[in-house]
Amino acid sequence: MTATLELAAETELEENVGKRATAPGVDRIVLTGFMGSGKTSVGRVLAERLGWRFLDLDAEIERRDGRTVPEIFAASGEAHFRKQETAALAGLLGQRRVVVALGGGAPEELGNRLLMEQTPRTAVVYLAAPLETLLDRCERDDARTGSAGRPLLAQAEQRFAVRRHLYERIAGHQVETSARSVEEAADAILEALGRNR
Ligand code: S3P
């Protein structure tokens, strides 16, 4: 009887703080998908819902290197950028209670795919959308910021053809984003993670 009452009290307590979302069995959520899939904007909202930290892989590369992503591509090339990306990803995956937004090309590297696969309690979620939608979003982003922030956008078609299979392969969950707002996409991720415990 006492035990039941205690349990009831605990449940009530949990309900009071129940506004915070949970991701059972998971310590880090990695968002993958093409340029324009919403990894950064959805990642921020998701992290807020969970009370976790949001980490952006491109921002981490820029922080470590001291140059912007387009500057690194222009001066040192893609191969150099990819090396930086792998080093930065290894660092971010060492942290707990984090939502990590990858860059769109990170899954092209076998080393990155293995890092994610080998890191325990890591859920990889693919934010999917048709290529036209993704390109539209990138164009709108560029118009809004007044700059072309994505050096590989000119190769979008070829890259998308290769990568879409990689995104599908590395992700345990896929969320279609074209008909969803940022908040709805974050909720869909939480629902998918809760459902497939
Ligand atoms: C890249 C995507 C970019 C950034 C870099 C390379 C790619 O990130 O990492 O420009 O290869 O698709 P976003 O997907 O966040 O735009």
What's the pLDDT score for residue 148?
80
Strands (E), 60-172: 98-101, 122-128
pLDDT at site 196: 57
- Residue nearest ligand 1's atom 4 by CA: 103
pTM of the model: 0.90
| Three-state DSSP state, 95 | coil
Residue 152 Cβ inside 6 Å of ligand 1? The answer reads yes
In this predicted structure, what is the pLDDT of residue 18? 53
So what's the pLDDT on residue 72? 97
pLDDT beneath 70: ranges in the chain: 1-19, 196-197
pLDDT score of 9: 46
3-state class (DSSP) for residue 26: coil
Whose alpha carbon is nearest atom 7 of ligand 1? 105
pLDDT at 12: 45
Atom 10 in ligand 1: which residue has the minimum CA distance?
150
Question: H or E element: which one contains 47?
Answer: helix 39-50
Nearest ligand 1 atom to alpha carbon 34: 14
Give the per-residue pLDDT at 177: 97
CA of 188 relative to ligand 1 center, distance in Å: 23
Cβ-Cβ contacts under 8 Å for 16 (sequence gap 6 or more) = none
Which ligand 1 atom sits nearest the alpha carbon of residue 56?
Answer: 15
> Does residue 106 have its Cβ closer than 6 Å to ligand 1?
no
Task: Report whether residue 104 contacts ligand 1, using a CB cutoff of 6 Å.
Answer: yes
- Ligand 1: does its nearest atom lie under 6 Å from the Cβ of 69? yes
Are the C-beta atoms of residues 126 and 171 closer than 8 Å to each other? yes
